[in-house]
Amino acid sequence: MGLLGRPDSPQQAEMGGLTLMALGLIPLFAARGLLLRRAWSRGPAVATQIMALPVAWTLLRSSGALIPAGIALAVIAVSALVLLVSPTTTQALGIRGPDRA
C-alpha cells in the first residue's frame, strides 16, 4: 500500500519503511564489524540470530516447502549463536570474560 497505493497515514508508512531499512542494515554492519574483529559487533549479531529463531519456528509450523527452509534457518541461527558466544570468538574480539579482572 505504501509504495503503490494510498496508505492511511503516509508518515506511518514512511517510518515503517525506514524501520525496515534499519533492520536490514544492522546485520550488515554487524557482519562487517565481526570481519574487522570489533567487540561492539557481537551484540547486534546475537540479536539478529535471536530474531531469526521465531521466524524459523513459524516456518517449521507451516506446511510444505517452507519446513526445510525453517530447518535450515534454525540450524544456521543456533550455530551462529553458539559460535558468537564461544570463548574463541570472545578472545578474538577482545572481549574480557568474567574470569579476567
Q: Which of 36, 47, 35, 33 is nearest to 81 (CA)?
A: 47
- Higher local confidence (pLDDT), 96 or 17: 17
Tens-digit pLDDT profile for residues 28-77 = 999 999 999 999 999 999 999 999 999 999 999 998 889 999 999 999 99
pTM confidence score: 0.76
Where do we find the cell 558466544? 85
